[in-house]
Every structure is written in structure tokens, then in C-alpha cells.
């Protein structure tokens, strides 16, 4: 039988009633002729509760025990859904990560999936099991210890299973009914997309859209796994949601597909650093070693052998960046006059595969922002993306203006 992967996020399994509702969706797909692999998250709020317990118990906790604790939320959900399906006369059983097994690296709380052998689950399908309910977010390292994949890891688990089992599709059930042209909370003209290309979804996810976890989209693009994002709270509709697929599967698309944003950005400037070969490496290597996720980078015009270097990073990594730069200065690796952090900025981006072949998109974006009196602090581009850093107070205005200017409300 064909295999379908269905993933239910925390809000979709937040209580027994919602687990029952999700189970009915699974039973419907079984009736449609699928063997189903269900990936479940912990019930909404449970992971945060477990993390809180760990922090209360031990501030300098053992990461291996942290994973043992926080992975338990998904195990509870998997067991409850299996019980519910059995009550509905659907042959189902729960699977923990180590039982599959989901083989991962040994980096606790940030493990990466290395392999998912299919033998155990396929054998059970052959014996009459119709649904494998798998605890998402977790796996097992070579040393036999439980690992977790980091926040949003259940999305990654779902796509990895779809790739490993050659699933017909991977349905991601969440609390939104698809991927929108922008955040509907900011623009009431935001439109749900029927289809979006992998590359566009990857850019939107990395730029702040919360619908899918970035690593899950990377996996889907690499292994050509068709993803469907849809709501677990709406009535059944086989055409519902947004399909994330190959560019070739989209007949026609707008030049710009969406406007993304990130509020939690900071702009940092090293003032008066030496303009010499190797200076960029001397700055960004210690930042990388300190775990600072640098995004935009701008180097000013050199004057008398000195220049300013500006970069952006998440606002919660500013202290880490300042510490890394001070340490590098004390070690004599770099020399700068001062480091200035602006933590009141936001990033706004437009994304679209049509930008590859359409001229004038950047000019139009800049003109729109200029018309609204919004100053651009930093710019970065790729083939299908254009991002700017602006004052945070103008974020919503910028998103609305760009959405209107590119007429994203029109199909």
C-alpha cells in the first residue's frame, strides 16, 4: 500500500479532544487506502514545562539527561494517539525514536538525523499494522543515549520519514491553514498560497516565517518530498492547505511570492578596523566559534587604511558577539575603536522565484520604503530574496506597504 506521513504539532494534540480529532483524520486516510506513519509533537506547552523542570533541578545540567526528560512529552502523545486509534478499530502502535530506530548524531539537544532504517516498521505493516505513531523530535545516538533534534524537530522527523519510506506526501498539520503571502496579523490582505516552491519556502522559513522549520524544508527539497501544510482545526478537504513542491510543479507564479520579517534582529558595527587582507576572517571566525549567527554584512569604504564593519545577528546573541570581539581584540587578532550595537531594528524581506528573471524588483522595493519615510540600514540579496534592515518601529508599515505594492493579494 502507498505510505502517507502525517505530522501533528503541539496545538493539534494539545488535549484528549484534539488527539481524538487528529485520530479521526488518520483513520480517514487509512480508509482511503494508505498505510500511515504519524509523527507527533508533545502536547502544547508540555516541552516548555519539562525544560522548566530541568532548569529548576540543575542549572548546569547534563545534556544527555536533558534529552531524556524533554523527549518524554512526545512519547506520551504517541501512546495516547495509538490508544485512541485502537479504540476506533484501527490497527496502530506507538514507536519511540530508539525503537524505529531514528539514528542521529550525538549532539544532545541539537542532534541531526543520520539514518532511518525502514525494516522494523515495514515488517509491522506486513503483519497488519496500519498506523505507526512515532514520537517526533527524538532519536538515538551511537552510544545508545536518547537525543533530541532541537526546537521544531518534529517537522524534520516527519520529512525524514517521508524520504526514508518513499511516502506519497508528507502532511504537516498545524494551527494555520497554509502558507500566506505574509503574516495575516499584520496585513488583512494576506492571501493563502495554493502552492509554493521549495526554495521560496526555505527562504521564508529562514527569514522568520514560523510555519515550517528550516531544516525540514531543506530535507524536503533535497529528497523531493512533497509537503502539504494545513490546519488540523478545519473540516476535511482533500484540496486544503498549501503544497510545497518543485518549481516545475508550479505553472505560473507571481514575481514576489511573500513578505517575511523578523523582529528579533540587532545591528552591530565595529568602528575603525584595519582594512587589510584577512580582516573579515579575523572578525567572523571568533563570532562563529562563539555560536553567533551572522546574517547581513556590510563593509564601508576604506579611509586611510581604516574601515567600519557592520553585521546583523539575533538580538539575544549581542552579548555573546560583544564578548567574542573583545576577546579577539585583547588577543591582538583585531583592533577597532569601538563596537556599537543597535538592538531596535527589524529585518523585512521579499521572496520569489520570479525575481531571477525580473529586473527592477530591488528598485521598486527601495522606492516603496522611501515613499513611507523608512530608512534602510543594511541590504542583502540572493537570487530569489531581498532583505533590508530597518528601524523596528516601521516593521508593520513596511510589510503592509510592500505587500500592497507587489499586489500579493492577487492570485
CA-to-CA distance for 105 and 377, rounded, in angstroms?
Answer: 39
Cα 372 to Cα 95: distance, rounded to the nearest angstrom: 54
Residue 303: CB atoms within 10 A of its CB come to 10
Q: Evaluate if residue 251 carries a pLDDT over 70.
A: no
Q: What's the chain's average pLDDT?
A: 93
Average pLDDT over residues 132-161: 95
Interior angle at CA 187, CA 186 and CA 192, nearest 5: 115
Rounded to an integer, what distance in angstroms lies between the CA atom of residue 200 and that of residue 353? 7
Provide the pLDDT confidence category of residue 23 given band limits of 50, 70 and 90: very high
Q: Which domains does the chain have, with CATH numbers?
A: 3-175 (3.40.1160.10), 259-405 (3.30.2130.10)
Instruction: Say how many CA atoms lie within 13 Å of 276 toward its Cβ.
Output: 11
Q: Which residues contact 253 (CB under 8 A, 6 or more apart)?
A: 195, 197, 352, 353, 354
pLDDT in tens, 86-96: 999 999 999 99
pLDDT value at 266 more than 80: yes
Query: Phi and psi of 298, rounded to 5°?
Result: -135, 130
Q: Are 39 and 5 within 8 A, CB to CB?
A: yes
pLDDT digits (tens, 9 = 90+) for 201-247: 998 888 867 788 888 999 999 999 999 999 988 887 777 899 998 88
Question: Sorting pLDDT into bands at 50, 70 and 90, what band is 275?
Answer: confident
| SS3 of residue 179 by DSSP | coil
Distance (Å, whole) CA 73 – CA 40: 10
Q: Are 102 and 159 in contact (CB under 8 A)?
A: no
Task: Give me the pLDDT at residue 64, please.
Answer: 95
Q: Lowest-pLDDT range, 42-56, 124-138, 303-317? A: 303-317
Q: Which residues are annotated as a binding site for substrate?
A: 47, 74
pLDDT in tens, 30-64: 999 999 999 999 999 999 999 999 999 988 899 99
Binding residue ranges: 7-10, 47, 74, 174-175, 180, 185, 210-211
Burial class of residue 127 in the structure, from the number of CB atoms within 10 Å of its CB (0-12 exposed, 13-18 middle, 19+ buried)? exposed
Helix/strand/coil for 328: helix
* Residues annotated in a binding site for ATP: 7-10, 174-175, 180, 185, 210-211
Amino acid at each position: 500500500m502507498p505510505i502517507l506521513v502525517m505530522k501533528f504539532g503541539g496545538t493539534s494534540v494539545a488535549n484528549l479532544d484534539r488527539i481524538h480529532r487528529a485520530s479521526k483524520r488518520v483513520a480517514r486516510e487509512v480508509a482511503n487506502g494508505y498505510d500511515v506513519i504519524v509523527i507527533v509533537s508533545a502536547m502544547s506547552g508540555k516541552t516548555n514545562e519539562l525544560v522548566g523542570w530541568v532548569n529548576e533541578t540543575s542549572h548546569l545540567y547534563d545534556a544527555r539527561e536533558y534529552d531524556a526528560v524533554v523527549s518524554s512529552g512526545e512519547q506520551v502523545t504517541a501512546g495516547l494517539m495509538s490508544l485512541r486509534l485502537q479504540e476506533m478499530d484501527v490497527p496502530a502502535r506507538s514507536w519511540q525514536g530508539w525503537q524505529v530506530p531514528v539514528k542521529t548524531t550525538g549532539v544532545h539537544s541539537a542532534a541531526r538525523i543520520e539514518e532511518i532504517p525502514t525494516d522494523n516498521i515495514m515488517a509491522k505493516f506486513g503483519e497488519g499494522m496500519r498506523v505507526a505513531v512515532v514520537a517526533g523530535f527524538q532519536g538515538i545516538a551511537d552510544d545508545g543515549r536518547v537525543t533530541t533534534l532541537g526546537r521544531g524537530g518534529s517537522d524534520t522527523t516527519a520529512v525524514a520519514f517521508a524520504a526514508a519510506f518513499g511516502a506519497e506526501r508528507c502532511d504537516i498539520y498545524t494551527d494555520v491553514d497554509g502558507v500566506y503571502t505574509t503574516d495575516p496579523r499584520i496585513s488583512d490582505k494576506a492571501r493563502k498560497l495554493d502552492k509554493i516552491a521549495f526554495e521560496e519556502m526555505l527562504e521564508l522559513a529562514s527569514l522568520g516565517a514560523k510555519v515550517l522549520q528550516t531544516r525540514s524544508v531543506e530535507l524536503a527539497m533535497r529528497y523531493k518530498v512533497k509537503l502539504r501544510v494545513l490546519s488540523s482545526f478545519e473540516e476535511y478537504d482533500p484540496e486544503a492547505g498549501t503544497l510545497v513542491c518543485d518549481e516545475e510543479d508550479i505553472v505560473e507564479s507571481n514575481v514576489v511570492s511573500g513578505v517575511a520579517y523578523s523582529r528579533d534582529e540587532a545591528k552591530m558595527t565595529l568602528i575603525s578596523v584595519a582594512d587589510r587582507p584577512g580582516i573579515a576572517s579575523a572578525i567572523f571566525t571568533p563570532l562563529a566559534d562563539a555560536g553567533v549567527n551572522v546574517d547581513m554584512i556590510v563593509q564601508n569604504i576604506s579611509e586611510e587604511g581604516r574601515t567600519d564593519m557592520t553585521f546583523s545577528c539575533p538580538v539575544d546573541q549581542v552579548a555573546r558577539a560583544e564578548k567574542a570581539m573583545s576577546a579577539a581584540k585583547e588577543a591582538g587578532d583585531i583592533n577597532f575603536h569601538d563596537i556599537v550595537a543597535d538592538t531596535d531594528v527589524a529585518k523585512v524581506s521579499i521572496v520569489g522565484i520570479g525575481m531571477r528573471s525580473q529586473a527592477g524588483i530591488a528598485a521598486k522595493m527601495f522606492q516603496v520604503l522611501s515613499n513611507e519615510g523608512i530608512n534602510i540600514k543594511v541590504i542583502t540579496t540572493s537570487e530569489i530574496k531581498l532583505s533590508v534592515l530597518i528601524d523596528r518601529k516601521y516593521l508593520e508599515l513596511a510589510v503592509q506597504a510592500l505587500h500592497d505594492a507587489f499586489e500579493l493579494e492577487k492570485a
